[in-house]
Structure 1
């Protein structure tokens, strides 16, 4: 990151914002750039690049030309930026609208759009648009995007770059390399879809993200023009749901209760399949998407064997084989140093880093930081750093650049005035940077798509706050808001609405519940008394956070695994308190959890966020090494098999060996 370039861009922006008539290039060269050594041509190239960067940020650099009086008086060109250029319009929100907006911003689970939503909310806070609001008790919907592929595709879609990936074609069952122009992403029928123009076929195509068999590669040196007036939700509305098919599987007797509950009452006989082996039961399981079912069946390892159809059998074998190959591959020479999240590489090993933070990234943060400080005077410096997701050292580096930036004359009153000597940050001179810049396309997408998603919750759609805040944000986002139509999130309405209503009423009244619950980790059904605390969702899968009296601690229960739920009539205990995290975490770490080192490929890198990795380091091939806490390690072989070559266990060695043995036993079923 070049601090000097960041400071130069910031000074240029301040100079052009604070001039009424504009500044000539010679004035800028002398007073902003302090350039005395480069040639006119070299300076001109640098100045044009910087103007391009400011335009990239959304600032309209105006060119004003004054014609000379005669041949001995040449034309004069001046530059300026209007006071209203790229400024977020004032947005005034009611408490009810703020409630809906905050819920929409918190929808995105870990994704890049989650960071964009945080930035957008911070801009609204800096403009004074947000007021204190109380979130609805016990309701916290969230969206979990489809892994790293989602992140890469969203970035390519907004930057208008084509992408390539390997895809398992539904028509042929073969893996094919695809080169496409991504137009939109959306979720329907529990599946994430990409709508894109396939360059090789010259036509629009739908791609299910569950069928991508490789990481997405973004072709950053190429570009495309997106389809005008594209609407992802309209595209998905015309998509027919996959037909129901039947899979025939042999399952170990007395095992996999969850799979058995979904099986048909009478197994469908499979011609030429023979009888199941001793100790196994034959089940007929309905399904729609073979890849989704294959992911589940692969996770069961040797406890299940696919009989038919061939497409499903092939998919399960492919996942198991890929997982086994990755689990047996040489271990990378990388380790976590004590007390640090930085990797240790042996001599001669050069890691490939992720995208470095650039001066443009730093400037973007500063343009949020100044208006935030103006509207939040006196915050502790550590609190400010936490709000921006950076370290105190990084924040102080930003502040040191800011206090050296200002108007061309450079007098004390012409500089940004920021103080943090007592660890409390105050700003007294903002040089017209006190208003936040407009939403980026990612920020507009994050908020507007989130608001559209909340339509699935009747209690939020009622009262008009959802509609009114959507209209206000659409007006504030302008053209960037129109691009939000390229993204369509899943509906968050729960499938088990009866359990949801029972839980919500118990949370409201403070009443203890009794439930009968199926645990896939233990493959058993248990009865428990619980004190309900919060409801939240990941896509349309809803969870109930509760204090479990049997476990004597906080637990999260999936509503679709609750077989019975009823009120006991007793009040909740004093020990029933929700977790500290907000939004609530799906996994609550404990001191006695096993610390597991997992290697993730680039395709599976998003799992580090899904499982709240405590430390991660980048690997030379673009993958990650992640240190994750697991409360129950018995299911880790399932975890490795499920992700089909995107994850493996490195440490402890006994867990790594257990996963290899499970994969070997599962594959042995298909050797003939």
Structure 2
């Protein structure tokens, strides 16, 4: 290849070329040889070459591909030579059963909406998993789960590899500080994610909430004299699950008396025990996390009226007042037309390179492949597979022959079939990277936290976790480092989840009484998949009443019966995004929302099409079902979520907030009087009822 004819190629193709060179030599190449033979290095200054070579080595290392560095005894100059020892990167035989291979696909789908999704998908494919939408994956095993926070990936990897990190942290009192810790473990409990570790700055052990981490997590620089690992390292018997169990804070379940207006808060009414009802207001006793109940009350214009001194708190009404004040003070954001939002752009070079390597590994180890089937397995369009193949072919041919001992390599397309020809030593699957294995393990842990799935799925997920931790040495302590705890759910919620899981497995229609925000209705549904979002459980189902797929909060189910009727609808491959944060909602209106520092953890739940981060908030383009639905979010966050545009939606949300405030004040006044009268004259006929009596 003439150097003058070298055309610009993508960074991923260049990295493929470097990998091709380093795997093709058995005696290794010096830095000077690589500089002479790889077009991307030619013409660079010494300093620029060093930077480029270090960048590419780091890129390969992040994919789990380490360079072998050695000196030849016969080399009089004693120069360092580099090569990639492919046999050392071979995927160990994990002996996965068919059911376990299916579970890898489910685990990949479970984290598919997060930054872990592409990592988990590649790992699943390399382990022989199929697409989660394939017919062979049982419907009863399906689950969709909310995305872990962005910081989770960096912190889990740091805990596995035992290196310190730094991040900006907003404490409960609003103070912002830079923290340096050596992470010991990462886990989720009650819908919140935590990292636990040794605090390098302040000493001792510390627990941090991930939703309070501002910006990105970076590897920290430490001085040797600080003896970080000796002083702040993870204890031998550490268990993140045990640390989560020791969490004690005010977010504990307790009984709260809530006053609700007629026709509002059907979910709270369904969960609670009715105490008294009069003058269009009902007081119900609800078991819940106090702070969560306060937010729920703000969202539906209700008020906490007991027991005891909590009635004086008025935190729910204050949230709505704060939301209105923030709404008015913000005004219309005149800069919004000039916002340059990012939809994520093209995949990163690292991601493309990882996909290309995974594709090549599958074709090399399994033989000729149908391109359409590859697209199904990788859960991408056919055009994406074709781009990866083009990158692979270009990368393999942009480098000149480097030695006579190189292994042969060739890509052949025959109609719809693709085949790679290579020496025998290249025809086995490469090992999954640490990120890929960790992502898949995280998906398995999330699966195990969802009630209602078939027991065989839980058993298979347990087996995959045990076997996959053998793939890389850093994963030996994964179960101690990462813990996903099941949510705090009522007994009825868990029972209904089990019944829905049974109905999904047996493809049965379910009859239920369901309490929405506005009313309680009778519904016949064909349940399709269980969903865990944060700490809440949902079921996505075909609703016979609405004639479309809908998502139902299992906590709002009043009563449920699995019928003998065969379900008539199955899970569709395409899932519309929802502004409520889970699949199955109405398309709604496109809007720009601003998420303040306390609410940025919510952004991913809205499935934004584009986002942009500023110094004070994240701007996201989302679909909003209605002004009333987004007003509930604005109210429960005290205005930390705002409407940037369109103007009409801003006006409609303000009107909805005013209605919520009026309702909250009325409920507080009437509810307080009703509770007072009930305490003084408990036998007075104020229409006290109970939900059990109403059934």
Output the TM-score relative to the length of structure 2.
0.74
What is the deviation of 1:573? 6.7
CA deviation after TM superposition for structure 1 residue 43, in Å? 4.4
Paired residues of 1:59 and 1:86 also in contact (CA < 8 A): yes
For structure 1, which segment, 399-408 or 159-168, has the greater mean C-alpha deviation from structure 2 after superposition?
Answer: 399-408
Summarize the Cα distance change of 1:543–1:197 in structure 2 as closer, same or farther, 3 Å threshold.
same
3-state SS in 1 of match to 2:513: strand
Q: Which residue of 1 aligns with 2:522?
A: 527
Partner of 1:656: 650
- Distance of aligned partners of 1:185 and 1:178 in 2 relative to their CA distance in 1, 3 Å threshold: farther
Structure 1 distance, partners of 2:435, 2:65, is 17
Residue number in structure 2 paired with 1:418: 411
Partner residue in 1 for 2:438:
445
CA distance in 1 between counterparts of 2:605 and 2:140 reads 22
Distance 1:559 1:42, change over 3 A: closer
Unaligned ranges ≥5, structure 1: 169-173, 268-275, 336-344
Q: Secondary structure at the match of 1:626?
A: strand
Distance in 2, matches of 1:351 and 1:543, equals 31
Q: Is the 8 A contact 1:490 1:540 kept in 2?
A: no
2:26 counterpart of 1:26: no
Q: CA deviation at 1:638?
A: 0.7
2:370 to 378, 387, 391: 378
**Maintained 8 Å contact 1:91/1:129:** no
Q: State the match for 1:579 in structure 2.
A: 572
Instruction: Give the 5 Å matches for 1:62-81.
Output: 62-66=68-72, 74-81=77-84
Match of 2:391 in 1: 398
Q: 1:444 to 1:319 in 2, by over 3 A?
A: farther
1:666 Cα deviation after fit: 5.4
1:381-431 Cα shifts (integer Å, max 9, x gaps)? 9938973579649647635633534563499x9885335696x46243457
- Compared with structure 1, are the counterparts of its residues 137 and 101 closer, same or farther at alpha carbon in structure 2 (3 Å cutoff)? same
In the TM superposition, residue 121 of structure 1 has moved relative to its aligned partner by 0.9
1:408 is paired with a residue of what secondary structure? coil
1:359 Cα deviation after fit: 4.0
The whole-number CA distance in structure 1 between the counterparts of 2:418 and 2:610 is 34
Report SS of the residue matched to 2:20: helix
State the partner residue of 2:515: 518
Cα distance in 2 for partners of 1:293, 1:546 equals 27
Whole-Å separation in 1 of the counterparts to 2:312 and 2:473? 47
Residue in 2 that maps onto 1:321: 322
Q: CA deviation at 1:166?
A: 1.5
The one-character-per-residue Cα deviations of 1:568-612 (angstroms, maximum 9, x if unpaired) are 55x3475x344334899943356xx43231324375566565344
Residue of structure 2 aligned with 1:161, choices 159, 165, 168: 165
Q: CA separation in 1, counterparts of 2:218 and 2:321?
A: 31
Task: Note closer, same or farther for the CA distance 1:619–1:410 as it changes in structure 2 (3 Å cut).
Answer: farther
Pick closer, same or farther for the CA change 1:616–1:389 going to 2, 3 Å. farther
Taking a change above 3 Å as real, the CA distance of residues 164 and 133 of structure 1, as seen in their structure-2 partners, is: same
Q: In the TM superposition, what is the alpha-carbon distance from 1:295 to its structure 2 partner?
A: 2.8
User: 1:525-575, CA deviations, whole angstroms, 9 ceiling, x for partnerless residues?
Assistant: 112334445444446644344443332333333332222223555x3475x
- After TM superposition, give the deviation of residue 437 of structure 1 in Å: 4.0
Change (3 A) 1:449 1:361: closer
| Cα deviation 1:474-505 (Å, max 9, x = unaligned) | 21233245346432123279743443454455
Partners in 2 of 1:463 and 1:164 — Cα distance?
37
Name the structure 1 match of 2:496: 499
Identify the residue that residue 466 of structure 2 maps to in structure 1.
471
- The answer (yes or no) to whether the contact 2:140–2:501 under 8 Å persists in 1 is yes
Q: Distance in 1 between matches of 2:283 and 2:18?
A: 73
Structure 2 CA distance for aligned equivalents of residues 137 and 438 of structure 1: 30
Q: Whose relative contact order is higher, 1 or 2, with alpha carbons under 8 Å and at least 6 apart?
A: 2
CA distance in 2, matches of 1:528, 1:434: 54
CA contact (8 A) 1:491 1:539 kept: no
TM-score normalized by structure 1?
0.76
Is 1:239 the equivalent of 2:247? yes
The 3 A distance-change label for structure 1 pair 57 and 160 is farther
Map of 2:632 onto structure 1: 638
- Structure 2 unaligned residues grouped into runs of 5+: 1-7, 223-227, 670-695
Question: Structure 1 residue aligned with 2:589, among 584, 595, 613?
Answer: 595
Provide the C-alpha distance between the structure 1 equivalents of 2:606 and 2:638, rounded to a whole number of angstroms. Answer: 17
What's 1:364 paired with? 354
Equivalent in the alignment of 2:188: 187
- For residues 176-223 of structure 1, what are the alpha-carbon distances to aligned partners after superposition, in whole Å with 9 as ceiling and x for unaligned? 33443244321234543332444554222234557x3x7445356646
**Residues 311/49 of structure 1: CA separation in 2 closer, same or farther (3 Å cut):** farther
SS in 1 for 2:264: coil
Measured in 2, the distance between the counterparts of 1:77 and 1:151 equals 34
The answer for the alignment partner of 1:296 in structure 2 is 296
Conservation of the 8 A alpha-carbon contact between 2:627 and 2:653 = no
- Alignment partner of 1:202: what SS? coil
8 Å contact kept, 2:363–2:420: no
Give the direction of change, closer, same or farther, for the CA distance of 1:227–1:665 in structure 2 (3 Å limit): farther
- Residues 245-324 of structure 1 correspond to what in structure 2 (within 5 A)? 245-247=254-256, 249-253=258-262, 255-263=264-272, 280=281, 285-288=286-289, 290-300=290-300, 302-304=301-303, 309=310, 313-314=314-315, 317=318, 321=322, 324=325
The CA deviation at 1:154 is 5.3
The answer to whether the Cα contact below 8 Å between 1:323 and 1:645 also exists between their aligned partners in 2 is yes
Cα deviations by residue, 1:600-647 (Å, 9 ceiling, x for unpaired): 43755665653444x3253655723314163x5532211222344453
